[in-house]
Amino acid sequence: MAEPAPAPHADTHTYPAGLERLLIVVSVVVGTLMGAIDMSIINVALPSIRASLGATLTEISWVATGYLVAVVVILPLTAWVASVIGRKRLYLVSLFVFVAASVCCGLSHSLPMLVFFRILQGLGAGLMQPIAQAVLRESFPPHEQAMAMGFFGIAILLGPAIGPTLGGWLTDNYGWPWIFYINVPIGAMAVFMASQFLHDPPYFARQRAASMDGVGIGLLVVGLAALQTVLSEGQNDEWFDSTFIVVLTVVSAAALLAFIIWEVRARNPAVDLSVMKDAGFTSGTMLGGLLGLALFGSLFLLPLFMQELLGYDALQSGWAMMPRSLVMMVGMPIAGRLYNRLGPRLMVGAGLALSAVSTFMLAGLNLDTSYVGLIVPQMWQGLAFSFIFVSLSTAALATVPRPRLTNATALYNLIRQLGGSFGIAIIATLLENRQRFAAVHLGRHLSPFNAQFAWRYQAISQGLSQLHGFPTNVANQKALALLNGMVQQQAAVMAFDYAFYLVGVLFIVALPLVLLLHAPRHLRRAPAAAAAD
């Protein structure tokens, strides 16, 4: 008797198991983690780099901006490049480029040289992310897909969290070049492991003859590069008060619109946008972009608050944020196991609610906040982020066929990255404007007609005069400057609390969007199978 044909949705793919799967996971997670760390590790070292290279504040910002622009530009092109040269080969090339560029960054003796090699670094990091996510998806069977996304989430979310701490420690103890040199031994190990344990899936052999979509690639590069530059540099250039930002915004909008029109009609598009016809993928990806805005906006606020208002240095603020990272490391595997029982709607919904509560807790920060007061909300936030990231990335890619996985993961990561860039840009602008507004409001109380101000002003002035021997006019000026400083400090606290509050509201606003998510097929079949039994 002939064997029955497999069911329409039967999974005939052979998955690696045991030690082989573990080695594959380590091979791709290590590279992704390096790229994620280098996105934030540079920030604490910028003052040292600036002093070493003699750059201005505006010029030195391009060390960070160049990396982000390169990541965003290359992400959507990953699938096309992989289809031409092979996925394993591309991953190895991207690792090699990243490590070699890291060495060159450390050896750089001028700003243009450093920015150039940071761009190369970003290209390598951007290529690694979607390949790693696709490899992990293909290495785990459907009922363990959430676990695979947990491993990917550890790299993506842990990198920005530990980057500042690691960067501060290396810069203080060994000098800024070592934030780049540290990638060499880790990268060498990743190259060796990837060369031994990664393999191209069979379907890539059928795509290598794809022709080059030069027009699409050109439009995409121009559009995304202009957009990321606007988001990264807009705050420094006063946004649309700058002709440079206005021109880049127009160029970005025109190029991206032309890119979409071109790609929809192209015979061999550089980026296959037809994957967006998958409702599950599109809803999950759009929700991922919105949450990227809230998540990365929140991650941006806290270290800034600790360093500017509580007086923490980079290393201290990094240690203060470490508990959240540890909770995420523990929470990702737990979220992966719970996903198969609870499904994406309940998991993402619970994560959003918990994120809102923890962010509202952070909206109560003040100058007297203790170390414990900083840690507790972060631990809840770490658990919430674990639930959201694992469930959302698993649900978004659940219905995407394997031959289109690399393309889908590239688009998913692109939208998440752009969401984060929008979040940081919006929060930074909001913070500055709100602080200015609060300072004006509080400054109205600095009036001789305000009895409390007059009493405090007189007390400080007399103290400076009697205890420190300042002349009366000097003591009066210093007293006024001290009171004005207090006002500015309190205005900053109010601005941070307001920003945290708005991020919490955004998490709540996103709650209804979980209804757009659908459980993967293997989860939908489970209740039916149980009922049949």
Angle between helix 279-308 and 405-443 (nearest 10): 40
Q: Which two tokens stand for residue 220?
A: 């995409």
* 297 pLDDT higher than 60: yes
Q: Residue 57: what pLDDT?
A: 64
DSSP state of 4: P
Q: Report yes or no: 431 and 496 within 8 Å, Cβ to Cβ.
A: yes
* Per-residue confidence band for 203, with pLDDT thresholds at 50, 70 and 90: low
Q: Which two tokens stand for residue 114?
A: 């450093």
Q: Report yes or no: 114 and 53 within 8 Å, Cβ to Cβ.
A: yes
**Which of 68, 70, 62, 69 minimizes the C-alpha distance to 110?**
62
Q: Which two tokens stand for residue 449?
A: 């007609």
Q: What is the pLDDT of residues 381-403, one digit of tens each?
A: 888 888 888 888 788 777 777 77
Q: What is the largest CA-CA distance in the chain?
A: 108
CA distance 17 to 23: 10
Q: Residue 129: what pLDDT?
A: 82
SS3 content of the chain, % helix, strand, coil (to 5): 85, 0, 15
Q: What is the pLDDT of residues 178-190, one digit of tens each?
A: 988 988 998 888 8
Q: Residue 434: what pLDDT?
A: 84
Angle between helix 145-174 and 111-139 (nearest 10): 150
Q: What is the pLDDT of residues 488-502, one digit of tens each?
A: 778 888 888 888 888
CA distance 325 to 386: 10
* Per-residue confidence band for 167, with pLDDT thresholds at 50, 70 and 90: confident
Helices (H), 108-144: 111-139
Using alpha carbons only, how large is the chain's radius of gyration in Å?
25
Q: Give the mean model confidence (pLDDT) for residues 415-436.
A: 80
* Per-residue confidence band for 529, with pLDDT thresholds at 50, 70 and 90: very low
Alpha-carbon distances of 332 from 243, 336, 338, rounded to whole Å: 44, 6, 10
Q: What is 135-204 written as a DSSP string?
A: HHHHHS-GGGHHHHHHHHHHHHHHHHHHHHHHHHHHHHHH-TTHHHHTHHHHHHHHHHHHHHH----GGG
- 328 φ, ψ (degrees, to nearest 5): -65, -40
Q: Which two tokens stand for residue 330?
A: 């523990």
* 100 pLDDT higher than 90: yes
**Which of 188, 174, 163, 45 minimizes the C-alpha distance to 114?**
45
150: Cβ–Cβ under 8 A, 6 or more apart, which residues? 332, 333, 335, 336, 386, 390
Q: What is the pLDDT of residues 432-488, one digit of tens each?
A: 788 887 777 766 666 565 566 655 656 666 666 656 666 666 666 666 666 666 777
Q: Give the mean model confidence (pLDDT) for residues 420-427.
A: 79
What residue has token string 């918990």? Answer: 354
Averaged confidence pLDDT in the chain: 78
Q: Report yes or no: 286 and 143 within 8 Å, Cβ to Cβ.
A: no
Q: What is the pLDDT of residues 121-165, one digit of tens each?
A: 988 888 888 888 788 877 777 777 777 777 777 777 777 777 777
What residue has token string 């490049």? Answer: 81
CA distance 117 to 225: 16
In 3-state terms, what secondary structure has residue 365?
coil
CA count, 13 A, side-chain hemisphere, 261: 6
Q: Which two tokens stand for residue 198?
A: 């990664």
What residue has token string 């959507």? Answer: 76
CA distance 312 to 243: 37
Helices (H), 270-404: 279-308, 314-362, 371-397
Secondary structure (H, E, C), 483-498: HHHHHHHHHHHHHHHH
Q: Which two tokens stand for residue 228?
A: 């990321």
CATH topology of domain 17-208: Growth Hormone; Chain: A; (1.20.1250)
CA distance 63 to 443: 37
What residue segments make up the domains of the chain, in order of their start?
17-208
Angle between helix 57-74 and 46-53 (nearest 10): 120
CA distance 384 to 328: 9
CA distance 249 to 226: 7
Torsion of CA 443, 449, 451, 453, to 10 degrees: 30
Neighbours of 531 (CB within 10 A): 7
CA distance 431 to 68: 22
Q: Residue 102: what pLDDT?
A: 92
Q: What is the pLDDT of residues 22-66, one digit of tens each?
A: 888 888 888 888 888 887 787 777 778 888 887 776 677 778 778
* 209 pLDDT higher than 60: no
